[in-house]
Structure 1
């Protein structure tokens, strides 16, 4: 009897409860090809943009530009200039920003508009014409100018020629020596207009001769 009761009591005791709940099974990871492709595209795009930014910064140079209008002949001050970055181009020859100190104090050789890049021909040690010199312009037809294109710095002679219908003068015709300081083609007449640097004492007589149209230009030397 007692052994039967003991077995009965043992059968009524509930099984021991675990202290920790059972761990859930790990979730199954689902692959999403669209997200993977988007991540790859983002990485490639970032690399491309980074390369472009690096190329853009390494292909630029710091140069000098005019902050405001600078008139021809004016002394260039530091406040007249500004440093800017531009893309490198073999066709351009701007003055580097490192040349600022050497540019300041020079005179503008031409009118420099605000925002324009400075080039070596934009400034000079002195203005043209200097003291005791004058610039005289002469408009030439093809028969009055040399066959070779005239250039700034050419040494020429302005030769007085006979008037139409008159006889050629005997002996050597009178002439004036000059230096070419500018060459352009007139928009109105299509003639070649040459600016000549001559001594001030000869300017008036040369201008009077040029006004008659009875002149010709002779190219003598291109030695600089």
Structure 2
């Protein structure tokens, strides 16, 4: 009976120690103080330092980095009360000055089966018309850089957002709207 009581006391002490260290295992992290829209510059009053117990898988920004984040931009919409992560801030916006972002909806036959990634160099090529007429002229091509890729499950198409020079954006958007374009993936060697 004495051994059983001693075992229960020891188990209780271990449980109390574990609970105490779990509660006191907190760290200072940054929390968004007010809603910040994507692309807005982060200012001093936009972030607060709080002490919380954080799952390491979340990779929050340490409270000591608050000054370093001032002047950077929100990479996504940030809502008040959420923990700030490194992926939520950026130094640059897309598209950059002099560039435009154009979305192109493509069927599987209009693009390579190789997965596309942000930063890939591609060419958008005008394809023959409805009758399949092919001329001796070189097809119109517009060079672009992939910014994002998403799937439209209801149509089975892939929407590829590409960055192009401002002067090519209207022409590319008009060609893409006809559905008579194909995407060519260029080399990934740097």
Gap runs ≥5 in structure 2: none
> Is 2:104 aligned against 1:104?
no
Partner in structure 1 of residue 96 of structure 2: 130
Select which of 1, 8, 18 maps to 1:51: 18
Q: Tell me: higher relative CO, structure 1 or 2? Use CA pairs within 8 A at least 6 residues apart.
A: 2
Cα deviation per residue 1:29-65 (whole Å; 9 max; x = unaligned)?
A: xxxx69x96676345313322123224544x543323
Partner in structure 1 of residue 118 of structure 2: 152
Please give the residue correspondences for 1:83-122 in structure 2 after superposition, counting only pairs within 5 Å.
83-84=49-50, 85-90=52-57, 92-122=58-88
Calculate the TM-score normalised by the size of structure 1: 0.73
Q: 1:164 to 1:96 in 2, by over 3 A?
A: farther
Gap runs ≥5 in structure 1: 1-32
Moved over 4 A (4+): 36-40
Calculate the TM-score normalised by the size of structure 2: 0.84
> What is the Cα-based RMSD across aligned positions, in Å?
2.5
Please give the residue correspondences for 1:152-191 in structure 2 after superposition, counting only pairs within 5 Å.
152-186=118-152, 188-191=154-157
Distance apart, 1:187 and its partner CA: 5.0
- Number of corresponding residues: 189
Give the distance between the partners of 2:37 and 2:162, measured in 1 at CA.
Answer: 21
SS in structure 2 opposite 1:143? helix
Cα deviation per residue 1:160-213 (whole Å; 9 max; x = unaligned)?
A: 111232312324321111111121122543421111111111111110000000
Q: 1:216 to 1:94 in 2, by over 3 A?
A: farther
Give the distance between the partners of 2:74 and 2:155, measured in 1 at CA.
Answer: 29
